[in-house]
């Protein structure tokens, strides 16, 4: 590795540690119900005693080790997740630097790193709450589309307009949303249950846009999609049973309080027709960027999202339920790093049998 690459790799890792410290605040605040503002309070606080944290309490990794995983003020223990998020983000920034074009295309490299950073809170928030904040899903779409438009305007390789008018990232976003939107609809048709949350469909939309940007010159824009879908599902199959086991153990120790279901006034036929229409409408809402317009309107009116959102019934996931967002994240990174070689190896095997 040239000395300059080593220097920028080190810069990426150090910057990733700093960003990881900020992401801990994002995970904590957006993971609350209702979500807390990222702007107020302006300083980080201890989640136990709410005491503002000083600069010496926020040095990535080192503060956690120096204080032995405890708050300086109330002495309550602090989860290892805080240190883990900082180390994970630092590792991802380094890996994205190595996996991307490096400083030959700094805008692309920085976009990859910011995209990876956004996926970190998505992973942990969805794992804990079964929800993905709209603001994160919107950012995961904006980053690759902005990268693609920048590449098109500067004639960078791998960035082009499909049929002369549509950025490839937008096409990838539509395909990603349609793939996992179809899974959601199929699950409803089969079991009459929500097989996949709408946040997962929105997450797949953003991932599809980025994977198209990373397909590489000379490859089909959807080159990485098969490995992404396959690796996401495989990670769910491998890790999912462990999560279910852990959730069921927790449910036995702390049984959830559930309320009786409301009286049903619709007939089965009406429910099936309305349910399918609702599922298809939800997917269409994702495709036409309904979440983006909804978010913009709420910000223009300076209202919290809950004021402009439709009322949602309180929902408690079953102990056998698992969020799929974390597995989409795992599949995305795996496809980004190894999807090309896996697809090449499969095609070589399939075409030379």
Q: What angle do CA 170, 103, 160 make, to 5 degrees?
A: 25
Q: Residue 162 forms beta bridges with which residues?
A: 166
Helical axes 168-191 vs 225-253, angle rounded to 10° = 50
CA atoms within 13 A of residue 333's CA, in its CB half-sphere:
21
Helical axes 290-300 vs 134-153, angle rounded to 10° = 110
Peptide bond into 41 cis (omega under 30): yes
Q: Each residue's pLDDT tens digit in the chain (353 positions)? A: 566 788 999 999 999 999 999 999 999 999 988 888 888 878 888 888 888 888 888 899 999 999 889 998 999 998 999 999 999 999 999 999 999 888 889 999 999 999 999 999 999 999 999 999 999 999 999 999 999 999 999 999 889 998 889 999 999 999 999 999 999 999 888 888 788 889 999 999 999 999 999 998 889 999 999 999 999 999 999 999 998 888 888 777 766 555 444 444 445 554 555 678 888 999 999 998 888 888 888 878 776 544 334 444 556 777 778 899 999 999 999 999 999 999 999 888 888 76
Cβ distance 158 to 151 under 8 Å? yes
What DSSP designation does 102 have? G
Cβ distance 31 to 129 under 8 Å? yes
pTM attached to this predicted model: 0.89
What DSSP designation does 167 have? E
**161: three-class secondary structure by DSSP:** strand
CA 219 to chain centre: 25
Taking alpha carbons only, the member of 329, 333, 317, 330 closest to residue 136 is 329
């Amino acid at each position: 590795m040239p000395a300059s690459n080593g220097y920028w790799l080190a810069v990426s890792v150090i910057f990733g540690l700093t960003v990881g410290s900020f992401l801990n605040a994002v995970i904590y605040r957006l993971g609350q119900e209702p979500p807390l503002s990222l702007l107020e309070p302006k300083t980080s606080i201890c989640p136990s005693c709410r005491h503002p944290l000083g600069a010496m309490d926020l040095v990535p990794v080192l503060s956690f080790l120096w204080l032995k995983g405890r708050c300086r003020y109330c002495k309550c223990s602090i989860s290892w997740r805080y240190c883990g998020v900082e180390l994970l983000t630092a590792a991802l920034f380094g890996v994205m630097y190595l996996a991307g074009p490096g400083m030959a295309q700094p805008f692309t490299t920085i976009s990859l790193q910011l995209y990876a950073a956004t996926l970190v809170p998505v992973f942990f928030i969805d794992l804990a709450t079964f929800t993905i904040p709209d603001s994160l899903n919107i950012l995961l779409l904006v980053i690759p589309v902005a990268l693609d438009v920048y590449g098109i305007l500067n004639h960078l390789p791998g960035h082009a307009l499909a049929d002369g008018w549509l950025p490839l990232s937008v096409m990838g976003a539509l395909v990603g949303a349609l793939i996992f939107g179809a899974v959601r609809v199929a699950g409803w048709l089969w079991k009459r249950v929500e097989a996949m949350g709408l946040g997962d469909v929105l997450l797949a939309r953003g991932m599809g846009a980025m994977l198209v940007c990373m397909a590489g010159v000379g490859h089909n824009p959807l080159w990485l999609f098969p490995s992404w879908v396959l690796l996401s599902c495989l990670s769910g199959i491998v890790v999912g049973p462990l999560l279910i086991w852990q959730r069921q153990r927790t449910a036995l120790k702390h049984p959830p309080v559930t309320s009786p279901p409301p009286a049903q006034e619709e007939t089965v036929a009406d429910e099936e027709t309305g349910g399918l229409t609702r599922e298809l409408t939800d997917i269409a809402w994702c495709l036409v960027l309904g979440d983006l317009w909804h978010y913009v309107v709420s910000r223009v009116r300076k209202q919290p999202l809950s004021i402009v959102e439709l009322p949602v019934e309180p929902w408690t996931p079953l102990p056998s339920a698992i969020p799929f967002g974390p597995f989409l994240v795992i599949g995305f990174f795996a496809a980004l790093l190894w999807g090309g070689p896996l697809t090449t190896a499969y095609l070589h095997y399939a075409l030379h049998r």
